[in-house]
Amino acid sequence: FTGSLDASSLLERIEVLTHVSQYDPYKVLIVDDSKAQATHTERVLNSAGILTHTLTEPIQAMDALAEFQPDLIILDMYMPECNGTELAKVIRHNDRYVSVPIIYLSAEDDLDKQLDAMSEGGDDFLTKPIKPRHLIATVRNRAARARNLKARMVRDSLTGLYNHTHTLQLLDDACFRARREEQPLAFAMLDIDHFKKVNDTYGHPMGDRVIKSLALFLKQRLRKTDYIGRYGGEEFAVVLPDTDEQSALKVLEEIRQRFAEIHYPAQPQDLSCTFSCGIAMLQPGLDGNALSKRADEALYKAKHGGRNRVEL
Ligand code: GH3
Ligand code: MG
Ligand code: MG
Ligand code: MG
């Protein structure tokens, strides 16, 4: 954004930028106590361009799910540590993974046992030996549908940004990683100033356009590795990994200034908007919840300090 800022060209590009990356390779988590079996499954899937991550110990599954974020899970039925069905139950217990397809791949050919296994959160039961084409088609179709569904579940439909729930999940994950890698992490909350007046004066559709354009503006100005969420109506939240206090202040201060410069063509006169912003830094002993509370307090400070400002 250099020179004059034109709101309508911003809006034109929003469709492009919010597009879901449906062309990324599918990712499959394989859990099988037999390395040989797992390797065979991996080879079949890899040959079809599907990425795999294999665990021979089911106990690592929850960490692997968080790290690898698979589109689909292939479970062995019988493992010494913990059966596939037990693992499926644990996975389904976590809100985040309720919709990830779980496919059993086992030599078990007793239908009663297969159906039992599926009643515990499995979606399909494939019996070994299985033709590679059959396995690949099953994985592809289920992964495609699941990915499509998930993309809708985690996003806000007006802006294409992450929704409230998912933003908080991403914040939790980012806190975990930041702590492990001993990197700083910033969390920012933004709230458009006097937005009720925008709606009252210019109408709700104009209010929506401002919300969309701020969404796009944040996308263009922040890094690919930052997470941007629509936290509420005219509230946004940004997770900034590997970002120290000075950098967070600098980038949000710059965004604040540039956003305030945008003029939306309107009657009786052009409209311009500002936002207030509160930033919190990850510190020892804080979790995502506490961090968002701090950012909220900083935002409150910004509002009461006169709005159109960034506070820490
Ligand atoms: P301030 O934050 O500066 O204190 O004032 P405000 O007027 O922005 O405060 P408040 O949070 O009370 O009002 C937010 C308004 O945003 C209320 C609601 O009608 C409007 N709003 C919420 N979601 C949407 C939306 O999706 N579209 C539009 N057009 N308006 C929305
Ligand atoms: Mg086994
Ligand atoms: Mg508000
Ligand atoms: Mg507001």
Element spanning 241, H or E: strand 235-241
Tell which one of 189, 192, 196 to mutate to probe ligand 1, the residue whose CB is within 8 A of the most ligand atoms.
196
Q: In the chain, what is the greatest distance between 2 CA atoms, to the nearest angstrom?
A: 74
| Percent of residues in the chain assigned helix, strand, coil, to nearest 5 | 50, 20, 30
The C-alpha atoms of residue 155 and residue 228 are separated, in whole angstroms, by: 10
Under 8 Å between Cβ of 170 and 229 = yes
Token pair of 16, please?
Answer: 């492009």
Answer positive or negative: Cα dihedral of 133, 50, 228, 6: negative
> What is residue 150's predicted lDDT score, i.e. its pLDDT?
87
Ligand 3 center–CA 301 separation, angstroms = 14
Rounded to the nearest whole angstrom, what is the distance from the C-alpha of residue 77 to the centroid of ligand 2? Answer: 6
Contact 198, 273 (CB under 8 A): yes
Helix (H) or strand (E) holding 181: helix 164-181
**How far is the C-alpha of 31 from the C-alpha of 224, rounded, in Å?**
31
- Pairwise CA distance, residues 195 & 62, whole Å: 42
Helices 84-93 and 61-68: angle between axes, nearest 10 degrees: 50
- Distance CA(130)–CA(160), nearest Å, equals 39
Distance CA 298, CA 57 (A): 44
Region class of 147: left (phi > 0), else alpha (psi between -120 and 50), else beta = alpha
Ligand index nearest the alpha carbon of residue 192: 4
Q: 99-102, long-range: CB within 8 Å, 24+ apart, which pairs?
A: 99/146, 99/149, 99/150, 99/153, 100/65, 100/70, 100/71, 100/72, 100/73, 100/146, 101/71, 101/72, 101/73, 101/142, 101/143, 101/146, 102/72, 102/73, 102/75
For residue 231, the Cα-to-chain-centroid distance in whole angstroms is 13
Could you tell which of 195, 202, 300 is best to mutate to test the pocket of ligand 1, judged by most ligand atoms within 8 Å of the CB? 195
Helix (H) or strand (E) holding 68: helix 61-68
Spell out which residues line ligand 1, taking CB within 6 angstroms. 191-196, 199, 204, 207-208, 211, 233-234, 303, 307
> How far apart (Å, rounded) are the C-alpha atoms in residues 61 and 38?
15
Instruction: Return the pLDDT at 66.
Output: 87
The reported pTM is 0.79
Q: Compute, in angstroms, the gap from residue 211 CA to the centroid of ligand 4.
A: 11
Tens of pLDDT, residue by residue, the chain (312 residues): 334 455 555 544 443 433 335 678 999 999 999 999 999 999 999 999 999 999 999 999 998 998 899 999 999 999 998 999 999 999 999 988 989 999 999 999 999 999 999 998 999 999 999 999 999 999 999 999 999 888 888 999 999 999 999 999 999 989 999 999 999 999 999 999 999 999 999 999 999 999 999 999 999 999 999 999 999 999 999 999 999 999 999 999 999 999 999 999 998 889 999 999 999 999 999 999 999 999 999 999 999 999 999 999
ipTM of the complex model:
0.96
Q: Which two tokens stand for residue 9?
A: 């060209």
- Tell which residue, 192, 218, 220, 219, has the closest CA to residue 206: 192
Specify whether the CB–CB gap between 303 and 276 falls below 8 A: yes
